[in-house]
Amino acid sequence: MTNAIGTTEADRALKAGHRALWAQGDYPSLAAELIPDLGRILVEASGLRPGDRVLDVAAGTGNAAIPAALAGADVVAADLTPELLRAGRRLAEERGAVLRWQEADAEAMPFEDAAFDVVLSCVGVMFAPHHRAAADELVRVCRPGGTIALLSWTPEGFIGRMLGTLKPYAPPPPPGAQPPPLWGDPEHVEALLGDRITDVSAERRTVVVDRFATPEAFRDYFKQRYGPVISVYRANADDPERTAALDRDLADLVRRHDRGTGAGTVVEWEYLLFTARRAT
């Protein structure tokens, strides 16, 4: 029913590290404050209908799963990190959404073949380290003729650039791991899914983030809340010079992308909205 990713000791250690990475900081507040509408946008693009069986892969706190449930779908929100699922349950209860929450690895999901009409992921599956394995699972659990809908940060956009800025300060990735922003490249996604999909649509869009007064405030917000940034700072905690250099590089990145006119920062984050049907 699932592939073999995650069965070796090295894979289990890698996944444990991913759980810990996303459990630190406060990703639930970041998602709610900065990108609250992305899940709804993905749900609308998927064309799901009331009664559809929907899986949100690497769902986090349910940015897509909750609006899908509110639209009348029968939804499962799956994620590797229990802390995010618990936060998602609370949000769903507050909004009156009924859905199922399940701990699951995007590269080896505990669901039957062709179990879902719609398979979604909103800036989630892109962070699974083994892209081919994750793509195979997206296809496997989607029924023939069903929809796969993905929203991912692009390599050229702000988050892609931020992850690139972190890379020189981060420990080397494990063998076989691929950079998350590749999921924002339509050619990469089509190559992963291959002839198993039809009716492809790939559109670049942006979300505007304008709540920070300065680049430094922007940077510090991510230092406190965003797991990938927190993890890299912790890796350099014993080196004040590298930490200071990382501080400068992240603030400079925001400054380069700032489209504001002086009254606070205005940064556009580019993402790829990708939809397709599983071939019959």
CATH classification at residue 86: 3.40.50.150
User: What value does the mean pLDDT take over residues 119-131?
Assistant: 98
CB contact burial 149-185 (16+ within 10 A = b; e otherwise)? bbbbbbbebbbbbbbebbeebeeeeeeeebbbbbbbb
The answer as to whether 229 is a domain residue is no
Sequence-ordered list of residues with C-beta below 8 angstroms from that of 59, at least 6 positions apart, any chain: 65, 77, 78, 79, 84, 85, 88, 101, 121, 122, 124
Query: Is 170 part of any domain?
Result: yes
Instruction: Judge whether 52 and 115 are in contact, CB under 8 Å.
Output: no
> Would 203 be classed as within a structural domain?
yes
According to the model, what pLDDT value does residue 160 have? 98
Q: 259 lies in a domain?
A: no
What is the chain's mean pLDDT, rounded? 96
Tell me the mean pLDDT in the region 202-227: 97
Overall pTM > 0.85: yes
Q: Has residue 7 got a pLDDT over 80?
A: no
Number of domains in the chain: 1
Per-residue pLDDT, 261: 85
Q: How far apart are alpha carbons 37 and 72 in whole angstroms?
A: 18
CB-CB neighbours of 60 under 10 Å: 27
Residue 197: is its pLDDT beyond 80?
A: yes
Lowest mean pLDDT among 6-10, 167-171, 232-236: 6-10
Residue 238 has pLDDT above 90, yes or no: yes
Q: Which of 79, 117, 226, 113 is nearest to 162 (CA)?
A: 226
48 occurs within a structural domain: yes
Per-residue pLDDT band for 62 (boundaries 50, 70, 90) equals very high
Phi-psi category of 145—alpha, beta or left, where left has phi over 0 and alpha has psi -120 to 50? left
Give the pLDDT band of residue 12 (cuts 50, 70, 90): confident
* pLDDT over 60 (residue 1): no
Please give the residue that has the higher pLDDT: either 170 or 1. 170
- For residue 28, the SS3 value is helix
Domain that holds residue 76: 9-208+267-278
Q: At residue 8, does pLDDT exceed 80?
A: no
Q: Assess contact for 53 and 115: CB atoms under 8 A.
A: yes
